[in-house]
Structure 1
Amino acid sequence: MTEFNLTPQQPANGLTVLELFCGGGLGAIGFKAAGYDIVKALDFDKNAVKAYRYNFGDHVEQADIRKIKINRLPNTDGICGGPPCQDYSVSGNGEGEDGERGKLVWNHLETVKCKQPKFFVFENVKGLIGKKHREKTFEPLIKKYEEAGFNVSWKLINAWDYGVAQKRERVFIVGIRKDLGFTFEFPKPLEGDYQTRVLRDVIGDLPEPERQDCGKYWTPKSEYTYDQANRVQSLDKPSNTIPAHHNSGQPIHPTEAPRRFTVRECLRIQSAPDTYVLPDDISLSAQYRIVGNGIASRVAWYIGRALADQLASVSN
């Protein structure tokens, strides 16, 4: 079994990053591989912070962004991160910015406004641009980033278009400080990446997990049913979206139903390399949550590379 890695390391690009809502670091995998130096990372969730620290080091801090003093955060070239998405998710409660987590989009904005980095990257669920939240939250958010001094572009990205074996649609907003004189252009997929990678490519070489190893995967209860959400996947197609909850609405393994994917299989479907490891003292449900909440690593890598290239072209 060869070591799995869809985020090949690029040379250091000299750009520093502050990561907000860093989660367990799946997005960090992509940005670090694209050559960035992440100097500080923040998240509220203790398990996510534990996973991040285990893989990347002590620059991560467990903190509530609503209470942290922005002026004590480091000045960096960029600010990256996706505020918690549950309040905007179609499968969530739909409270949007009225929800406690939904309000955090404005904390991201406030941090960017105060720190004035060269760029920022913001990621969230497709529901943010849906009818319910677009007029109240998304459009005012874009306007306020523009008013804060940034040229803003956004795109609904399906990870499958960028070499990830998963149909996962997420909204990405990228802002470039106006004095730099350009607007970010989202990258085109590299040759051979567009809607080509399937489950067989990413999990086909993994051995079947031992049944007694309950730390590996969640087995549904006997009354489990295959409904719209709990679909058996095909090895010759991409996976449905890997969600954050562990016990329902999960894509089901193509050949070993009724079990869901193991945590390692989920990580590979999220395009995280095998070098990324979740500590054993994090509960199984928390491990699944960390993976499901993460940014697909290869998508972060793509955006990071394009950003670095475009910033370099204006500074030369």
Structure 2
Amino acid sequence: MRTVELFCGAGGMSLGFRRAGYDLVQAYDAWEPAVATYRRNVGSHVWRHDLKDVFTIGPMVASLRPDIIIGGPPCQDYSAAGKKVEGDNASMTRAFAMYVSIARPRWFVMENVRQAKKSRAWADANDMLKAAGYGMTETVLDASWFGVPQSRKRWIVVGRLGERDGFLASALAGARSERRTVVGDVIDLPQGHFYMRPFGDGRGVRSVEEPAPAIIRTSRERPWPKYLNNPHPDDPVRVEEAAVLTQDQVARIQGFPEGWDWGSATAKDIDQLIANALPSQLAEAIARVVLAREAGDTIPNVEGGFAQWLRRRGRSAQSCRNTKSQCNRARRLLAGRTFTSHALEIEALEATWDFQQLEVRTQSNLRAALRLHAEFLSMKAERQGARLTAIALRKAA
């Protein structure tokens, strides 16, 4: 898949997508240390541009005819470690939506901090992406369940043209590993414990048998006298007995491979580049989920409430199981695709060669199963809308 990355930073996201087999044709960032680092480690296809200039960069991106646009707009305006005031950085979320709307790739993947979901900038971006025809899956993923030794929770939005919302949620959830990755899986610390500057009044000392907290620019700072004199009561060992992480070790925890070339960037800039990155292992996991759906190798799970809804309509348990099975069979014939309307879904199903080879009765059963599922989804949407309206009215009162 031809891939363009916006706000590419030091290259963590691109690295993950490249490992999954994507063709990186262009990347953009406005910060010279990021561009230089990306160029040394990922490739010369990176350009330094101010992505606020949508009128110049938009046609350039569209001319590349990408299959997918990926990227993480700046998060400082949303982050819990920032000022939480929406300014120029937040406006880049709108810019991301503009680029997608102009280029119209089949897919996009956007990542940010969880707080961005409730921003005015995302509300505007969401409206643009909806108007452009994208269905979206929004989810929060903890990187420690995707091969990263860090409890880094990122808000992920995956969009695909013509889909209904939530189309990839079950596949992303199914990509989780069986256990969390811990620091000891990635770096060797003979002390068995390490210190990482806590955010707020959190714990500073951790065991290598647990994930590190989310990396921020100041993560590798040595313990301050204030913490040494008043350590957290839940620290498993004394601060003096814990290792202080090096910059390279923090980079490894963030998903950068050993030997990543930071060039002549200052130590402060390198700390910022590391903190800003999406861990490559998490990026790779998302990329592989997208590829599998693109190839039709996965289908969305039928929601658990569907069978209960059928039972309330008088169906037997066996009939519910059959209908759910038929719905899954139809999804497989559709190569995992979902659609914004039932009519489009049936039209696409009837156009498949495999469906046309089925017996008339089987065809009828598959159509009926999709119709019932569409009714179920419509009912859920109406209830959700009514619930949100009631909440809004209570707040207004």
Shorter-chain TM range is 0.7 to 0.9
Q: Name the SS of the counterpart of 2:264 in structure 1.
A: coil
Number of the residue aligned with 1:285: 268
Number of the residue aligned with 2:109: 121
Number of the residue aligned with 2:290: 307
Normalized per residue, the structure richer in helix is: 2
- Show the 5 A alignment for 1:255-294: 260-274=244-258, 277-294=260-277
Number of the residue aligned with 1:44: 30
Cα deviation for residue 66 of structure 1 reads: 1.1
CA distance in 2, matches of 1:119, 1:33: 18
Cα deviation for residue 194 of structure 1 reads: 3.9
Q: Does 1:295 align with 2:268?
A: no
2:284 counterpart letter in structure 1: W
Number of the residue aligned with 1:87: 77
Query: What's the TM-score, normalizing by structure 2?
Result: 0.63
CA distance in 2, matches of 1:197, 1:126: 21
Change (3 A) 1:205 1:248: closer
1:70 counterpart letter in structure 2: G
Cα deviation for residue 241 of structure 1 reads: 0.4
Number of the residue aligned with 2:40: 54
Structure having the higher Rg: 2
Number of the residue aligned with 1:4: none
Number of the residue aligned with 2:145: 161
Q: Does 1:72 align with 2:60?
A: yes
Q: Is the 8 A contact 1:230 1:249 kept in 2?
A: no
Change (3 A) 1:72 1:92: same
Q: Does 1:187 align with 2:172?
A: yes
Cα deviation for residue 184 of structure 1 reads: 2.9
Cα deviation for residue 181 of structure 1 reads: 11
1:82 counterpart letter in structure 2: G
- Show the 5 A alignment for 1:164-243: 164-178=148-162, 183-185=167-169, 186-188=171-173, 193-204=177-188, 228-229=201-202, 231-243=204-216
Identity among equivalent positions (%) equals 27
Change (3 A) 1:260 1:181: closer
Cα deviation for residue 205 of structure 1 reads: 6.3
Q: Does 1:105 align with 2:85?
A: no
Q: Is the 8 A contact 1:30 1:299 kept in 2?
A: yes
Structure 1, residues 79-101: CA drift from partner, whole Å, max 9, x if none?
000000000111101112xx111
CA distance in 1, matches of 2:23, 2:284: 13
CA distance in 2, matches of 1:126, 1:190: 20
Task: Give the paired residue count.
Answer: 280
Change (3 A) 1:141 1:181: closer
Alignment counterpart, residue 8 of structure 2, candidates 2, 22, 26: 22
Gapped runs of 5+ residues in structure 2? 228-236, 297-334, 338-351, 353-397
Query: What's the TM-score, normalizing by structure 1?
Result: 0.79
Computed over aligned residues only, the root mean square deviation of the Cα atoms, in angstroms, reads: 3.3
Change (3 A) 1:259 1:46: farther
Q: Is the 8 A contact 1:229 1:249 kept in 2?
A: no
CA distance in 2, matches of 1:247, 1:147: 44
Q: Which has the higher contact order (CA 8 A, sep 6+)?
A: 1
Q: Is the 8 A contact 1:39 1:59 kept in 2?
A: yes
Gapped runs of 5+ residues in structure 1? 1-14, 208-218
CA distance in 1, matches of 2:85, 2:155: 18
CA distance in 2, matches of 1:190, 1:311: 15
CA distance in 2, matches of 1:139, 1:238: 33
Change (3 A) 1:180 1:312: farther
1:188 counterpart letter in structure 2: A
Q: Is the 8 A contact 2:220 2:245 kept in 1?
A: no
Cα deviation for residue 30 of structure 1 reads: 0.5
Structure 1, residues 50-71: CA drift from partner, whole Å, max 9, x if none?
1100011210011101123311
